[in-house]
Every structure is written in structure tokens, then in C-alpha cells.
């Protein structure tokens, strides 16, 4: 969870109304400076990074099936090359599909990590901007 909370104390006797006004104006300024809006429920499209697979989907399955068919035909007993090729193709395709599924899971995990890291950086920039704005208006910020 990304935190955008900034705690501040009115060190110059600012009224509650002044604190509310300053907090809102600093929110607007910080949002403009950083491009980050903590009230936005979702990431904007430009905040996302797409991670693309190195191979098109299905390529590992096809390669596994072809390699398995060749290997199955080679290692099968004489006169049973066709059966060996079929068994090898099925086994190779299953291994290739499993490899693709594992790669896709890893890409999705990487995507979530990148989005979270980018979001945390933006939130940290927003907190720094809010701190600077509030300190500039005479508040003590923690």
C-alpha cells in the first residue's frame, strides 16, 4: 500500500480554516508539480509499463512438439518411429506449454512489481512536494 500521508502542525497559530485551505492548496500544487493524485483510485495509462514476452505465445509449445517428435522418432524401436514421434510430440508440447505458462506468470509478477515501484516513487515525490509547500506556509511537518 502506498502512503501519501503528511502530518503537519500549525507552528504559527494558523486557524483550523486556514489549515484546511493551506492543505487543499498544497494538495493542488503538489499534484501539479508531481503529476500524482493520491485521490485517484487507479493508475493512469501512462503510469504503466508494459512488459512484453520475448517469444510470441505458442512458440515454445510448437518448438517442444517438433523437438519431441524428432527425439521420439530417433529413440523408438525400429519400425515404431511414427508412434515414437507422436508420443514425443505430445510430451514436447506439454513441456513447451508449461514453459510458456511459467514465463507468463513471471512477466505478470514483474509487471506488478514495476507498477508498485513506480507508484511508490510518485507517492514519495508527492509527499516531498506537500512537505515543501506546507513548510513554506509556516507549518512543522513530520
Encode pLDDT of 99-141 as tens digits.
777 766 666 665 555 577 888 888 899 999 999 999 999 999 8
Query: So what's the pLDDT on residue 27?
Result: 93
Give, for 9, the enclosing helix (H) or strand (E).
strand 8-10
Q: Rg of the chain over CA atoms, in angstroms?
A: 29
Domain contains 1: no
Domain contains 101: yes
Taking the C-alpha atoms of residue 73 and residue 82, their distance in angstroms, rounded to an integer, is 6
Percent of the chain with pLDDT over 70: 76
Domain count, the chain: 1
Domain contains 96: yes
Domain contains 131: yes
Domain contains 3: no
Domain contains 2: no
Exposed/middle/buried for residue 15 (C-beta within 10 Å: 0-12, 13-18, 19+): exposed
Range of 114's domain? Answer: 8-141
The answer to whether the beta carbons of residues 21 and 141 sit under 8 Å apart is: no
Domain contains 97: yes
Amino acid at each position: 500500500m502506498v502512503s501519501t500521508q503528511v502530518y503537519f502542525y500549525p507552528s504559527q497559530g494558523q486557524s483550523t480554516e486556514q489549515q484546511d485551505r493551506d492543505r487543499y492548496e498544497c494538495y493542488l500544487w503538489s499534484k501539479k508539480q508531481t503529476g500524482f493524485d493520491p485521490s485517484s483510485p487507479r493508475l493512469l495509462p501512462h503510469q504503466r509499463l508494459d512488459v512484453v514476452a520475448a517469444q510470441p505465445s505458442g512458440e515454445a509449445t510448437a518448438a517442444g512438439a517438433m523437438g519431441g517428435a524428432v527425439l521420439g522418432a530417433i529413440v523408438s524401436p525400429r519400425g515404431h518411429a511414427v508412434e515414437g514421434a507422436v508420443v514425443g510430440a505430445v510430451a514436447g508440447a506439454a513441456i513447451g506449454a508449461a514453459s510458456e505458462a511459467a514465463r507468463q506468470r513471471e512477466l505478470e509478477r514483474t509487471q506488478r512489481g514495476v507498477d508498485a515501484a513506480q507508484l511508490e516513487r510518485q507517492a514519495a515525490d508527492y509527499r516531498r512536494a506537500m512537505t515543501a509547500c506546507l513548510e513554506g506556509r509556516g507549518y512543522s511537518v513530520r
